[in-house]
Amino acid sequence: MNYRRIWTGLLWLNLLLLLLFVAATVWADSSPSPAEANLARPGLAIPVTGAPLTDARTNLSASAVTTSYVYLPFVIKNHSVPTLTPLWRFGAAKVRQSPLAYQSAGISALRLGWYVDYQANGSALPTLGMDYVPVVRVKQLKLKDGSPTSIPCYACPYVTPYTYTISPALSQLPSLAQSRPGLLWVIGNEVERRDWWVTGGADQGQDEIVPELYAQAYHEAYTAIKNADPTAKGAIGSMVEWTPLRQQYMDRVLSAYATNYGQAIPVDVWNLHIFILQEVAGDWGAGIPAGLSNTVGTIYTPLQNKDFSIAWNQIIAFRTWLKNQGQQNKPLVITEYGVLLSEWYSSDFSPTRVWNDFLYPSFNYFSTYTDASIGYPADGNRLVQRWIWYSVDDDSLGPYGQNFNGNLFYSGLQSQPIGLTTLGTYWRNHVSTLPNDSGSHY
């Protein structure tokens, strides 16, 4: 028997046991408390009884029988932060450039769910997750220098008998509707707004047309679209704002439609613009609605242009009118609203003041305010379903060197390079905190 090999093996075994004992002692003295260990080590702790000890770092005596821990592998499930998606309710009006022009400037971070460009553009596709809403333009013809014209003309009389143009042409609407099924079509933009004159420049205008003629134009456009695409939705043409005079205009539209076609006007989605502008013939503001003989209506001061309480009262009044027309169960969209006066007029129209006094309150009221007596039942009795801010990028200069307020981006077509404005930054920061929504609410 080789005793020398046996003694050598026993010696190495004793040495190994001694090393294991020293290592265990050091580990026990330096190991964290159970609570700390659970925080420090990603694993599942299995209690094992051991010798009592005192945790010197907390000066707390452990129990008579202290628990040590053996750690098993711990698998962490990857819970990624959800991607923020466009918000269906929030939109903005494209004026100068395609929304894609602002992609590098962060337009996706504004989470816009829809947009208009004030035309029915057959080539416009949903962009950056935004719905495109076409606008069919109408215009009552006027007589200028002996010839009919649809070009804005403040002092020109209407062609008689009354007639109008429509763009795109009525013959083109069916093919456009079939190529883009299921869209919301707005028929007319500020249809009651008379043309207005500009000192030293060409007259300007929107879709001026008297109420009885608009009823006919609406019928023809709506019928052409719905016959071609039954899934399409038709929205009434917008008015600049809602006032007693504007209500008279719309009352006449509804009356003329019922008289001419023997039924209530078929509106799938009601539509309005919300601005705070005085009604005085030949003066600044929204003017007197086409077809009305008044010279003065509702009076506002320029500083009230950003008074959201006035804007909200317009919406309440419009929703009340809808209920009285038996139309409460129809959605309401605001296809343009905002603050037009800017800092060239007063420091009260700074981006911070516009955000605090108008834009943020609008988000709050539009999103959360409900009223079962006048709201839209299918959307939790909210008064407004979708809204479009003016504008994405209208930083153009007016005839006196002024600019409109509200643009979320610099277009790059003026002195400023393409980029997010201060107001756009407020918008981006706000919507970044909002959860993703569930999509259409009508």
pLDDT at residue 193 is higher than 90: yes
pLDDT recorded at residue 36: 34
pLDDT recorded at residue 350: 97
- Tell me: do 28 and 121 sit in the same domain: no
- Tell me: do 357 and 208 sit in the same domain: yes
Largest Cα–Cα distance of the chain, in whole Å? 134
Tell me which of 367 and 52 has the higher pLDDT. 367
| 438 inside domain | no
The string of DSSP codes covering 33-73 is PHHHHHHHS-SEEEEEEE---EETTTTEEPPSSEEEEEEE-
- Tell me: do 59 and 99 sit in the same domain: no
Q: What are phi and psi of 54, to 5 degrees?
A: -115, 130
The string of DSSP codes covering 340-401 is ---TTT-GGGSHHHHIIIIIHHHHHHHHH-B-TTTSBGGGTTBS-SEEEES-SS---B-TTS
Average pLDDT over residues 19-26: 48
> Domain limits at 36?
3-72
- Tell me: do 170 and 287 sit in the same domain: yes
| 80 inside domain | no
Confidence (pTM): 0.82
pLDDT recorded at residue 159: 98
Boundary-marking domain end, from 24, 41, 72: 72
- Tell me: do 344 and 246 sit in the same domain: yes
Distance CA 350, CA 279 (A): 25
Express each pLDDT in 106-127 by its tens digit. Answer: 999 999 999 999 999 877 777 8
| 81 inside domain | no
| 137 inside domain | yes
What CATH number does residue 247 fall under?
3.20.20
Contact call for residues 112 and 94 (beta carbons, < 8 A): no
- Tell me: do 57 and 99 sit in the same domain: no
pLDDT at residue 315 is higher than 90: yes
- Tell me: do 195 and 51 sit in the same domain: no
Total number of domains in the chain = 2
Tell me which of 187 and 77 has the higher pLDDT. 187
Boundary-marking domain end, from 31, 47, 72: 72
Average pLDDT over residues 55-84: 45
**Coil, helix or strand for 282?**
coil
Tell me which of 297 and 126 has the higher pLDDT. 297
Boundary-marking domain end, from 20, 46, 72: 72
| 19 inside domain | yes
Structure tokens at 288: 């007197």
- Tell me: do 94 and 66 sit in the same domain: no
| 238 inside domain | yes
pLDDT at residue 397 is higher than 60: yes
| 441 inside domain | no
